[in-house]
Amino acid sequence: MVQVKAIFKRWALLWSILTGMVVYLLFSKVPLLEPAGTLAGPFMQSLMPYCLFGILYVTFCKIEIKEFRPHTWHFILQGIRTLMAGLLVLWLVHITGPSEHLIVEGVFICVICPTAAAAAVISEKLGGSIASLTVYTIIANFVTSIIIPLFFPMVEPSAQVPFLTMSMLILRRVLTVLVLPLLLAFATRRWWPALAGRIKGCSNLGFYLWCFNLTIVSGVTLRNILCSTVHGGVMAAMLLLPLPVCLLQFAIGKALGRHFGESITAGQALGQKNTVVGIWLTIAFLNPLAAIAPGGYLVWQNIINAVQIWYKEKYGYLKW
């Protein structure tokens, strides 16, 4: 029993992905369970923002305000992300085939996505800096609110959304999902230190909350894939290409972070993406079919995270 529990804990991210997909299949394909799935599905999705708020609040309670400052690599990585996205935009402009355009558009979303708000949870698990990654995530979201309105009209001419409108849509999500739990956590540390200390003592609480959220997201991702009208080689490409893109972004982040003594944090900063925002942006402003790619990226990045956690717990450090 102890060994089974240890295996579950070590590979919790993979179990969460598998559980979410299996539960979705059961409640959407088994006739007896379909009515319950129809009712439970929207309810579970409605829990996601509240769960994410709780994840971030718990994690941010461990940050001291004096640690909350930007670093040089934060801005270098933003430049790298913007450059990569810009090169993909130039490629998209010269593509004429609809299938090729759809595939590259999906890759573009995987690159331009901001850092996942919950990346700090995984960074903490791996021994990285919560504070540094949180600062980077805020910067990344503000940069995203600028570059997306600039790039999207070039990717899809129909995406003629006013600059300020799209920027405010993105910034509103940042405020509600990221900034509010951060401010609440700082207030808790300031005026209720006993509660903050108790939360800080629950080292894995944020991680397990993220696993619960990942279960829901995985089910939604599988639904999007199964309901998509994309088939054959295009579907395979949009599910498989995010793997090398994900590996490349983790590798670039770690390579740069190593020069600043923050390899783990920088790797998560560039590699772990907010694919939920990516899917929302794609469906709302680009070709909705391209949303398959960030869904595939979600699975690959969590497989990579699971391997990193396994290695860290087995050997006590990350070699790469």
Q: Is a pLDDT exceeding 80 seen at residue 204? A: no
Q: Where is mean pLDDT largest: 53-67, 86-100, 210-224, 239-253?
A: 239-253
What values do phi and psi take at 193, rounded to 5? -60, -25
Burial 56-94 (b: 16+ CB within 10 A, else e): bbbbbbbbeeeebeebebbeebbebbbebbbebbeebee
Q: How far apart are CA 109 and CA 298, in angstroms?
A: 12
The pLDDT-based confidence of 207 (bands split at 50, 70, 90) is: confident
Tokens of 89: 């935009």
Tokens matching residue 5: 């529990």
Of the listed ranges 4-8, 58-62, 183-187, 314-318, the least confidently predicted one is 4-8
Q: Distance between CA atoms of 308 and 260, rounded to whole angstroms?
A: 20
Q: Please tell me the predicted confidence (pLDDT) of residue 34.
A: 82
Where is mean pLDDT largest: 75-79, 156-160, 220-224?
75-79
Assess contact for 214 and 17: CB atoms under 8 A: yes
**Where are the domains positioned within the chain?**
12-315
Please give the C-alpha separations between residue 47 and each of 16, 82, 211, in angstroms, as whole numbers: 16, 32, 13
Give yes or no for residue 173 having a pLDDT over 80: no
> Is residue 286 within 8 Å of 156, Cβ to Cβ?
yes
For 12-315, CATH gives 1.20.1530.20
Q: Helices 119-126 and 205-227: crossing angle, nearest 10°?
A: 130
- Extract the tokens encoding 225: 């894939």
pLDDT (average), residues 276-300:
88
pLDDT of 153: 83
Angle at 315 (CA atoms; ends 18, 306), nearest 5 degrees: 15
Contacts of 62 (CB under 8 A, 6+ apart): 124, 130, 199, 200
Mean pLDDT lowest for which of 95-109, 157-171, 196-210, 279-293? 157-171
Q: Coil, strand or helix: which one is 77?
A: helix
**CA nearest to 267, candidates 256, 280, 254:** 254
Q: In the prediction, which pLDDT does 125 show?
A: 87
Indicate the pTM of the whole model: 0.90
Average pLDDT over residues 165-169: 73
pLDDT score for 7: 65
pLDDT value for 178: 78
Q: Is 64 left (phi over 0), alpha (psi -120 to 50) or beta?
A: beta
Tens digits of residue pLDDT in 2-48: 566 666 667 888 899 999 999 989 888 888 888 887 887 788 878 88
- Residue 161 has a pLDDT of 64
The candidate with the shortest Cα–Cα distance to 98, out of 234, 266, 244, is 234
More confident residue, 83 or 40: 83
- Compute the distance between CA of residue 208 and CA of residue 196 in angstroms, rounded to an integer: 18
Which pLDDT score, from 0 to 100, does residue 18 have? 92
pLDDT in tens, 15-27: 999 999 999 898 8
Q: Where are the alpha helices (DSSP H) in the chain?
A: 2-10, 12-29, 34-60, 72-93, 98-112, 119-126, 130-155, 163-174, 180-191, 193-201, 205-227, 232-240, 242-258, 263-271, 275-285, 292-315
Greater pLDDT, 116 or 315: 116
Give the least confident one: 160-174, 175-189, 200-214, 232-246: 160-174
Return the closest-CA partner of residue 132 out of 271, 257, 265, 270.
265
Which of 89-98, 130-139, 160-169, 248-257 has the weakest average pLDDT?
160-169
Q: What confidence tens digit (pLDDT) does each residue in 126-140 have?
A: 989 988 998 998 899
Task: Write the pLDDT tens digit of every residue in 97-107.
Answer: 888 989 999 99
Q: Which of 11, 48, 40, 47 is nearest to 24 (CA)?
A: 40
